[in-house]
Amino acid sequence: MNTAPPLTVRELIRRIEQRFNDAGLYFGHGTDNALDEAAWLVGSALQLAPHELDAHLEDRPTPAQQNAIRALVEKRINTRQPLAYLLKEAWFAGLKFYVDERVIVPRSLTAEFIVEQFHPWIDPARIHRILDLCTGSGCMAIACAYAFPEARVEAADISEAALAVARINVENHGQQGRVQLLHSDLFSGLAGARYDLIVTNPPYVARAEMQTLPPEYRHEPALALASGAQGLDAVTRILAAAPSHLNPGGILVAEVGNSAASLQEKFPSAPFTWLTTATGDESVLLLTAEQLRQHHAAFAPTR
Protein backbone atom coordinates (compact mmCIF):
# COMPACT_ATOMS: atom_id res chain seq x y z
CA MET A 1 0.00 0.00 0.00
CA ASN A 2 1.36 3.43 -0.95
CA THR A 3 1.79 5.97 1.85
CA ALA A 4 1.76 9.68 1.21
CA PRO A 5 5.14 11.39 1.54
CA PRO A 6 5.69 13.66 4.55
CA LEU A 7 4.44 17.18 4.14
CA THR A 8 6.86 19.83 2.93
CA VAL A 9 7.70 22.83 5.07
CA ARG A 10 5.53 24.98 2.79
CA GLU A 11 2.56 22.62 3.16
CA LEU A 12 2.98 22.48 6.94
CA ILE A 13 3.01 26.25 7.21
CA ARG A 14 -0.16 26.60 5.13
CA ARG A 15 -2.01 23.97 7.18
CA ILE A 16 -0.97 25.60 10.43
CA GLU A 17 -2.01 29.01 9.10
CA GLN A 18 -5.50 27.62 8.52
CA ARG A 19 -5.60 26.05 11.99
CA PHE A 20 -4.61 29.33 13.61
CA ASN A 21 -7.20 31.30 11.66
CA ASP A 22 -9.92 28.77 12.46
CA ALA A 23 -9.00 28.95 16.16
CA GLY A 24 -9.37 32.73 16.24
CA LEU A 25 -5.95 33.36 17.74
CA TYR A 26 -4.66 36.89 18.31
CA PHE A 27 -1.36 37.90 16.75
CA GLY A 28 0.57 40.77 18.25
CA HIS A 29 3.69 39.28 19.80
CA GLY A 30 6.22 39.35 17.01
CA THR A 31 3.82 38.66 14.15
CA ASP A 32 0.51 40.19 13.09
CA ASN A 33 -1.02 37.38 11.07
CA ALA A 34 -1.47 33.61 11.06
CA LEU A 35 0.85 32.94 8.11
CA ASP A 36 3.85 34.67 9.64
CA GLU A 37 3.23 33.01 13.00
CA ALA A 38 2.97 29.57 11.38
CA ALA A 39 6.23 30.20 9.52
CA TRP A 40 7.95 31.31 12.73
CA LEU A 41 6.74 28.20 14.58
CA VAL A 42 7.89 25.79 11.88
CA GLY A 43 11.19 27.56 11.34
CA SER A 44 12.02 27.58 15.02
CA ALA A 45 11.13 23.88 15.40
CA LEU A 46 13.53 23.14 12.53
CA GLN A 47 16.19 25.44 14.07
CA LEU A 48 16.03 27.85 11.16
CA ALA A 49 16.33 31.62 11.52
CA PRO A 50 13.57 33.60 9.76
CA HIS A 51 15.87 34.61 6.92
CA GLU A 52 16.83 30.97 6.33
CA LEU A 53 13.31 29.58 5.96
CA ASP A 54 12.68 30.39 2.29
CA ALA A 55 15.54 28.12 1.20
CA HIS A 56 13.94 25.15 2.99
CA LEU A 57 10.29 25.40 1.94
CA GLU A 58 10.45 22.18 -0.09
CA ASP A 59 12.20 20.21 2.66
CA ARG A 60 10.20 17.39 4.26
CA PRO A 61 10.63 17.39 8.05
CA THR A 62 11.13 14.01 9.71
CA PRO A 63 8.21 12.35 11.51
CA ALA A 64 9.78 13.37 14.83
CA GLN A 65 10.03 16.99 13.70
CA GLN A 66 6.45 16.97 12.46
CA ASN A 67 5.27 15.57 15.80
CA ALA A 68 7.11 18.35 17.63
CA ILE A 69 5.54 20.94 15.35
CA ARG A 70 2.05 19.51 15.88
CA ALA A 71 2.54 19.59 19.65
CA LEU A 72 3.49 23.27 19.50
CA VAL A 73 0.46 24.05 17.35
CA GLU A 74 -1.89 22.38 19.81
CA LYS A 75 -0.32 24.13 22.77
CA ARG A 76 -0.55 27.53 21.06
CA ILE A 77 -4.24 26.98 20.31
CA ASN A 78 -5.22 25.42 23.64
CA THR A 79 -3.35 27.77 25.98
CA ARG A 80 -3.45 31.02 23.97
CA GLN A 81 0.09 31.70 25.18
CA PRO A 82 2.16 33.94 22.92
CA LEU A 83 4.26 31.76 20.63
CA ALA A 84 7.40 33.49 21.92
CA TYR A 85 6.82 31.98 25.37
CA LEU A 86 6.35 28.49 23.93
CA LEU A 87 9.52 28.78 21.86
CA LYS A 88 11.44 30.76 24.52
CA GLU A 89 12.58 33.10 21.75
CA ALA A 90 11.74 36.41 20.14
CA TRP A 91 13.29 38.43 17.31
CA PHE A 92 14.02 42.14 17.58
CA ALA A 93 16.06 44.32 15.22
CA GLY A 94 17.16 41.15 13.44
CA LEU A 95 18.51 39.64 16.67
CA LYS A 96 17.32 36.58 18.58
CA PHE A 97 16.46 36.94 22.27
CA TYR A 98 15.48 34.58 25.08
CA VAL A 99 12.08 35.38 26.60
CA ASP A 100 9.71 33.87 29.14
CA GLU A 101 6.71 35.00 31.19
CA ARG A 102 8.85 37.33 33.34
CA VAL A 103 8.96 39.89 30.50
CA ILE A 104 6.67 41.15 27.78
CA VAL A 105 7.42 39.78 24.34
CA PRO A 106 9.73 42.17 22.42
CA ARG A 107 7.75 43.96 19.72
CA SER A 108 8.76 47.59 20.02
CA LEU A 109 8.41 49.67 16.88
CA THR A 110 11.60 51.46 17.93
CA ALA A 111 13.66 48.61 16.44
CA GLU A 112 13.84 50.05 12.95
CA PHE A 113 14.97 53.44 14.27
CA ILE A 114 17.72 51.80 16.33
CA VAL A 115 18.98 49.97 13.25
CA GLU A 116 19.02 53.31 11.40
CA GLN A 117 20.95 54.88 14.34
CA PHE A 118 18.13 57.41 14.72
CA HIS A 119 19.21 59.17 11.54
CA PRO A 120 18.68 62.07 10.88
CA TRP A 121 17.66 63.18 14.37
CA ILE A 122 21.09 62.77 15.98
CA ASP A 123 24.66 62.28 14.82
CA PRO A 124 25.69 58.72 15.84
CA ALA A 125 29.23 59.97 16.48
CA ARG A 126 28.02 62.07 19.39
CA ILE A 127 26.30 59.19 21.19
CA HIS A 128 28.59 57.97 23.97
CA ARG A 129 26.14 56.94 26.68
CA ILE A 130 22.72 55.34 26.17
CA LEU A 131 19.91 54.45 28.57
CA ASP A 132 17.20 51.89 27.88
CA LEU A 133 14.50 52.63 30.45
CA CYS A 134 12.00 49.83 31.26
CA THR A 135 14.35 47.42 29.52
CA GLY A 136 12.40 44.19 30.11
CA SER A 137 14.24 41.48 28.18
CA GLY A 138 17.09 43.87 27.40
CA CYS A 139 16.38 43.73 23.67
CA MET A 140 16.54 47.49 23.02
CA ALA A 141 19.68 47.94 25.11
CA ILE A 142 21.45 45.12 23.29
CA ALA A 143 20.26 46.32 19.88
CA CYS A 144 21.64 49.77 20.77
CA ALA A 145 24.96 48.21 21.77
CA TYR A 146 25.21 46.70 18.29
CA ALA A 147 24.09 49.90 16.54
CA PHE A 148 26.45 52.14 18.54
CA PRO A 149 29.54 50.01 19.15
CA GLU A 150 31.50 52.83 20.81
CA ALA A 151 28.76 53.75 23.29
CA ARG A 152 28.22 52.67 26.87
CA VAL A 153 24.72 51.26 27.39
CA GLU A 154 22.73 51.08 30.62
CA ALA A 155 19.47 49.15 30.95
CA ALA A 156 17.11 49.83 33.84
CA ASP A 157 13.94 48.14 35.04
CA ILE A 158 11.83 48.08 38.20
CA SER A 159 11.41 44.29 37.93
CA GLU A 160 14.22 42.10 39.27
CA ALA A 161 12.62 39.19 37.43
CA ALA A 162 12.83 41.07 34.12
CA LEU A 163 16.46 41.96 34.81
CA ALA A 164 17.21 38.25 35.28
CA VAL A 165 15.93 37.62 31.75
CA ALA A 166 17.88 40.63 30.45
CA ARG A 167 21.01 39.17 32.05
CA ILE A 168 20.55 35.95 30.06
CA ASN A 169 20.35 37.97 26.86
CA VAL A 170 23.34 40.14 27.69
CA GLU A 171 25.37 36.96 28.22
CA ASN A 172 23.97 35.23 25.13
CA HIS A 173 25.05 38.20 23.02
CA GLY A 174 28.43 38.53 24.72
CA GLN A 175 27.63 42.10 25.80
CA GLN A 176 28.64 41.84 29.48
CA GLY A 177 31.29 44.51 28.98
CA ARG A 178 28.98 46.85 27.07
CA VAL A 179 25.54 46.66 28.71
CA GLN A 180 25.10 47.38 32.42
CA LEU A 181 21.84 46.28 34.07
CA LEU A 182 20.37 48.49 36.78
CA HIS A 183 17.43 48.05 39.16
CA SER A 184 15.46 51.29 39.10
CA ASP A 185 11.88 52.56 39.17
CA LEU A 186 12.19 54.75 36.07
CA PHE A 187 14.87 57.38 36.90
CA SER A 188 14.69 57.00 40.71
CA GLY A 189 17.87 54.92 40.92
CA LEU A 190 19.80 56.94 38.35
CA ALA A 191 20.49 60.16 40.26
CA GLY A 192 23.08 62.32 38.52
CA ALA A 193 23.35 60.10 35.42
CA ARG A 194 23.17 61.84 32.04
CA TYR A 195 22.86 60.31 28.59
CA ASP A 196 23.08 61.26 24.94
CA LEU A 197 20.22 58.94 24.02
CA ILE A 198 17.35 57.60 26.13
CA VAL A 199 15.09 54.96 24.61
CA THR A 200 12.07 53.57 26.39
CA ASN A 201 9.08 51.33 25.79
CA PRO A 202 7.29 51.98 29.10
CA PRO A 203 3.93 50.62 30.23
CA TYR A 204 1.24 52.51 28.31
CA VAL A 205 -2.01 50.52 28.48
CA ALA A 206 -5.01 52.38 29.91
CA ARG A 207 -7.05 50.82 32.69
CA ALA A 208 -10.14 50.24 30.55
CA GLU A 209 -8.05 48.75 27.74
CA MET A 210 -6.42 46.29 30.19
CA GLN A 211 -9.86 44.77 30.75
CA THR A 212 -10.38 44.09 27.05
CA LEU A 213 -6.98 42.70 26.06
CA PRO A 214 -7.00 39.38 24.15
CA PRO A 215 -6.05 36.26 26.16
CA GLU A 216 -2.52 36.25 24.73
CA TYR A 217 -1.71 39.50 26.55
CA ARG A 218 -2.96 38.15 29.87
CA HIS A 219 0.05 35.83 29.97
CA GLU A 220 2.35 38.86 30.09
CA PRO A 221 3.30 40.67 33.33
CA ALA A 222 0.73 43.39 34.02
CA LEU A 223 3.48 45.52 35.56
CA ALA A 224 4.95 45.99 32.09
CA LEU A 225 1.61 46.92 30.49
CA ALA A 226 -0.72 48.84 32.83
CA SER A 227 -0.11 52.55 33.32
CA GLY A 228 -3.07 54.17 35.03
CA ALA A 229 -6.43 55.44 33.87
CA GLN A 230 -5.23 56.88 30.56
CA GLY A 231 -2.11 54.78 30.06
CA LEU A 232 0.03 57.85 30.68
CA ASP A 233 1.33 57.42 34.23
CA ALA A 234 4.78 56.12 33.27
CA VAL A 235 5.41 58.32 30.25
CA THR A 236 4.42 61.54 32.06
CA ARG A 237 6.91 60.72 34.82
CA ILE A 238 9.55 60.08 32.16
CA LEU A 239 8.87 63.39 30.40
CA ALA A 240 9.11 65.27 33.71
CA ALA A 241 12.43 63.72 34.73
CA ALA A 242 14.16 63.30 31.36
CA PRO A 243 15.57 66.88 31.14
CA SER A 244 17.74 66.14 34.17
CA HIS A 245 19.17 63.03 32.51
CA LEU A 246 19.92 64.18 28.95
CA ASN A 247 23.12 65.83 27.82
CA PRO A 248 22.83 68.90 25.56
CA GLY A 249 22.00 67.73 22.06
CA GLY A 250 20.61 64.44 23.37
CA ILE A 251 17.27 62.91 22.47
CA LEU A 252 14.50 60.95 24.16
CA VAL A 253 12.67 58.31 22.10
CA ALA A 254 9.60 56.71 23.69
CA GLU A 255 6.97 54.33 22.37
CA VAL A 256 3.48 55.03 23.73
CA GLY A 257 1.24 52.79 21.62
CA ASN A 258 -2.49 53.47 21.72
CA SER A 259 -1.92 56.23 24.28
CA ALA A 260 -0.37 58.54 21.67
CA ALA A 261 -3.59 60.50 21.14
CA SER A 262 -4.20 60.87 24.88
CA LEU A 263 -0.63 62.09 25.38
CA GLN A 264 -0.97 64.70 22.64
CA GLU A 265 -4.27 65.84 24.17
CA LYS A 266 -2.71 66.08 27.65
CA PHE A 267 0.22 68.16 26.36
CA PRO A 268 -1.16 70.03 23.32
CA SER A 269 1.74 72.48 23.14
CA ALA A 270 4.48 69.85 23.35
CA PRO A 271 6.54 69.66 20.13
CA PHE A 272 6.43 65.88 19.82
CA THR A 273 8.00 64.46 16.68
CA TRP A 274 6.07 61.29 15.84
CA LEU A 275 8.39 58.88 14.05
CA THR A 276 6.80 57.04 11.14
CA THR A 277 7.58 53.35 10.80
CA ALA A 278 7.78 51.46 7.51
CA THR A 279 4.17 50.37 8.07
CA GLY A 280 2.97 53.93 8.70
CA ASP A 281 2.57 53.66 12.48
CA GLU A 282 3.18 56.86 14.44
CA SER A 283 3.24 55.92 18.12
CA VAL A 284 6.96 56.50 18.79
CA LEU A 285 7.76 60.03 19.93
CA LEU A 286 11.02 61.95 19.88
CA LEU A 287 11.93 65.02 21.87
CA THR A 288 15.30 66.74 22.05
CA ALA A 289 16.92 67.68 25.34
CA GLU A 290 16.32 71.32 24.48
CA GLN A 291 12.60 70.76 23.79
CA LEU A 292 12.20 68.88 27.06
CA ARG A 293 13.82 71.72 28.99
CA GLN A 294 11.77 74.39 27.22
CA HIS A 295 8.53 72.57 28.10
CA HIS A 296 9.61 71.33 31.51
CA ALA A 297 6.91 73.36 33.29
CA ALA A 298 4.19 71.64 31.23
CA PHE A 299 5.60 68.19 31.94
CA ALA A 300 6.23 68.81 35.65
CA PRO A 301 3.88 66.83 37.91
CA THR A 302 0.95 68.78 39.31
CA ARG A 303 0.36 68.82 43.02
Full set of structural domains in the chain with CATH = 9-87 (1.10.8), 102-299 (3.40.50.150)
Residue pLDDT, tens place only, 7-26: 999 999 999 999 999 999 99
Quickly count helices (H) and strands (E) in the chain: 12, 9
Q: What percent of the chain has pLDDT over 70?
A: 98
Q: What percent of the chain has pLDDT over 90?
A: 94
pLDDT band at 1 (very low <50, low <70, confident <90, very high): very low
Residue pLDDT, tens place only, 17-61: 999 999 999 999 999 999 999 999 999 999 999 999 999 999 999
Q: How far apart are CA 39 and CA 56, in angstroms?
A: 11
Q: 78: burial class by Cβ within 10 Å (0-12, 13-18, 19+)?
A: exposed
What one-letter code names the amino acid at 242?
A: A
